Structure 1
Amino acid sequence: MHVVMLGVPQAVTGEWERTLHEAGARHSVECQVQHARGLEELPESLPPGLLVLWDAGGPVQHTLTICQRLHSRRDPTRSQLVVLTERGPDELDALDQAGADECLTPPGGRWGARLIALERRLRALEPSALVAGGHRKRTEATLQALLELTLAEPGPDFFQVLVRQLAQALDVTCALVGELDGDSVRKLACFNLGDFCELPPYALAGTPCQVTVERALCHYPDGVAARFPEDTMLHEQGLRSYLGAALKDSSGNPIGVLAVLNDKPLAAHQLDYALINAFAVRAGFELERRHQRDEMERSRDQLQKTLDTVPEPLLVKDRGYRWVAMNSAFCRLMGRPIEELLGRTDRDFYTKAEADTFRRQDEQVFTTGQPHESEDGFTDISGQGRTLVTRKALFTGGGRSLLMVLCRDITERKRLEAQLRMADRMVSAGTLATGVAHEINNPLTFVSANLTYLEEQLTEMMVMPEALPELREVLSETREGVGRIRELVQDLKSFARADDERSGPVDVHRVVDSALRLMRSALRHRTQVVRAFGEVPPVRGNESRLGQVLINLLVNALQALPPRTPDDNRIQVSTWREGPHHVVLQVEDNGQGIPIEIQRRIFEPFFTTKPVGVGTGLGLSICNTIVQGMGGRIEVRSQPGQGTAFQLRLPVDGIPAPLRGKDAVLPL
Structure 2
Amino acid sequence: MHIIMLGVPQSVREELEHRLREAGARHAVECQLQHPRGLEELPKTLPPGLLVLWDAGGPLEDTLSLCQRLHTGRDPSRSHLVVLTSRGPDELDALDRAGADECMTPPGERWGTRLIALERRLRSMTMAPQALLVDSSHSVRTQATLQTLLELTLAEPGPEFFQNLVKQLAQALGVTCALVGELDGTTVRKLACFNQGDFCELPPYPLAGTPCQITVDQTLCHYPDGVAARFPEDTMLHEQGLRSYLGAALRDSRGKPIGILAILNDKPLEARQLDYALINAFAIRASAEVERLRARNEMERSRDMLQKTLDAVPEPLVVKNWAHRWVAMNNAFCRLVGHPLEELLGKTDHDFLPPSEADASWQQDEQVFSTRQPQEFESQITDSSGHQRTLITRKAIFTGLGGSPLLMALSRDVTEHRRLESQLRLADRMASAGTLATSVAHEINNPLTFVSANLTFLEEQLTQLVVMPEARAELHEVLEETREGVGRIRELVQDLKSFARADEEHRGPVDVHRVVDGALRLMRSAMRHRTQVVRAFGEVPHIHGNEARLGQVLVNLLVNAVQALPARHPDDNRIQVSTWREGPHSVVLEVEDNGQGMSEEIQRRIFEPFFTTKPVGVGTGLGLAICHNIVQSMGGQIEVRSEPGQGTAFRLRLPVDPSAHTLESEHEATFPQ
TM range (shorter): 0.3 to 0.5
Asked which structure has the greater CA Rg, the reply is 1
TM-score by length of 1: 0.48
TM-score by length of 2: 0.47
